[in-house]
Amino acid sequence: MGVALVATLAAAPAAAQSVNRAAIDNLNEQLLYVALPLVLFVEITLLYAVYRFRDNDDPKPTTKDSPLEITWTAVTGIILLFVGISAYFVLANPYITPAAASGPTVETQGDPVEIDVVAYQWGWEFRYPDANVTTQGEVVVPRGRDVVLTLHTRDVIHSFYAPDLGIKQDAVPGQETTIRTRATEVGQFRVYCAELCGVGHARMRGSVAVVAPTAYDEWLETGDLPPNATTPTATATAAN
């Protein structure tokens, strides 16, 4: 039974680690349902045309067919409308576009954790104003709670990119930019700078440690994370 359970978990797709990643994955899945039939239709039509007219030594221009032209124009318009509406609802999501946080599209989760992120050549500094805590290279956030990261830079343009969490935002000199996220899975996730920022760009890495709310509160008080705080299996076992 244990072997079967492991095999089932291995075969199942990994759950999104944040609401940001879930929104992006959901959009990609919707667009795939549209794109895959179109690709199959075009490829089958192409193969048919190659086979059907392979020995045609006297090709003639395609005759005018108004109903067919109207049909494919209407179908194309419907597809583009579907893509546009799907993309609009994702872009209006406050976890994708933080400026939309006051809108009705998605309900956010309570008062967020406020963190100031300072990018510099070549590292990351994270400040927790409410707790008077500052970290270098690693930001600790609680699972299941909204987090707002306010980005600044001391020098050139940098880009905060955590692919597993589905978040990416530039830090622009003289400007303040914002990331809103809510992590749903405990774990340790890599952060990269996704904007070429000088000779040390490749070394500009960091991490996001997502921990249980109790572990987060303990960390704010003591500065130390409990053992295995970012290990999903350990957290799941403790919860059970």
In this structure, what CATH number is given to the domain that contains residue 123? 2.60.40.420
Q: Are 97 and 154 members of one domain?
A: no
**Co-location of 41 and 120 in the same domain:** no
Torsion angle, CA of 72/73/79/82, rounded to 10 degrees? Answer: -150
What is the spatial distance between Cα 41 and Cα 49, in angstroms, rounded to a whole number?
Answer: 12
DSSP annotation of 190 reads E
H helix intervals, 155-239: 213-222, 232-239
Do 22 and 49 fall within a single domain? Answer: yes
9 in any annotated domain:
no
| Within-domain flag for 204 | yes
- The answer to whether residues 28 and 141 belong to one domain is no
Tally of domains in the chain: 2
Report how far residue 35's alpha carbon sits from residue 201's, in angstroms, rounded to the nearest whole number: 36
Task: Please tell me whether the peptide bond between 72 and the residue prior to it is cis, using omega within 30 degrees of 0.
Answer: no
What range does the domain containing 21 cover? 14-54+65-101
| Alpha-carbon span 30 to 88, nearest angstrom | 13
Q: Give the CA count within 13 Å in the CB-facing half-sphere of 235.
A: 21
Q: Is residue 108 part of a domain?
A: no
Q: Are residues 140 and 203 in the same domain?
A: yes
Q: Do 127 and 222 lie in a common domain?
A: yes
CA distances from residue 55 to 43, 50, 58, 60 in whole angstroms, order as listed: 20, 9, 9, 13
Both 96 and 170 in a single domain? Answer: no
Please give the order of strands across the beta sheet that includes 205-211: 138-142, 205-211, 187-193, 158-162, 167-171
* Least confident piece of the model among 2-6, 167-171, 231-235: 2-6
Q: Are residues 131 and 189 in the same domain?
A: yes
208, 17 contact by CB (below 8 A): no
Question: Is position 107 within any domain?
Answer: no
Q: How far apart are CA 25 and CA 141, in angstroms?
A: 22
pLDDT digits (tens, 9 = 90+) for 175-187: 999 999 999 999 9
Place 17 in a pLDDT band, splitting at 50, 70 and 90: confident
Examine residue 18 and state whether it is found in any structural domain, yes or no.
yes
User: What is the tens place of the pLDDT at every residue in 35-54?
Assistant: 999 899 999 999 998 888 88
For residues 134 and 233, state if they share a domain: yes
pTM: 0.76
Residue 60 lies in a domain: no
pLDDT value at 230 more than 90: no
User: What DSSP state is assigned to residue 165?
Assistant: G
Neighbours of 198 (CB within 10 A): 12
Q: Give yes or no: residues 97 and 205 share one domain.
A: no
Per-residue H/E/C for 92-154: CCCCCCHHHHHCCCCCCCCCCEEEEEEEECCEEEEEECCCCEEEECEEEEECCCCEEEEEEEC
Report the candidate in 120, 129, 108, 119 with the shortest Cα–Cα distance to residue 177: 119
Q: With a cut of 50, say whether residue 5 has pLDDT above it.
A: no
Higher per-residue pLDDT: 1 or 24:
24
Residue 212 falls inside a structural domain? yes
Q: Is residue 6 part of a domain?
A: no
Same domain flag for 155 and 234: yes
Do 118 and 80 fall into the same domain? no
- The token pair that represents 216 in the structure block: 């987060």
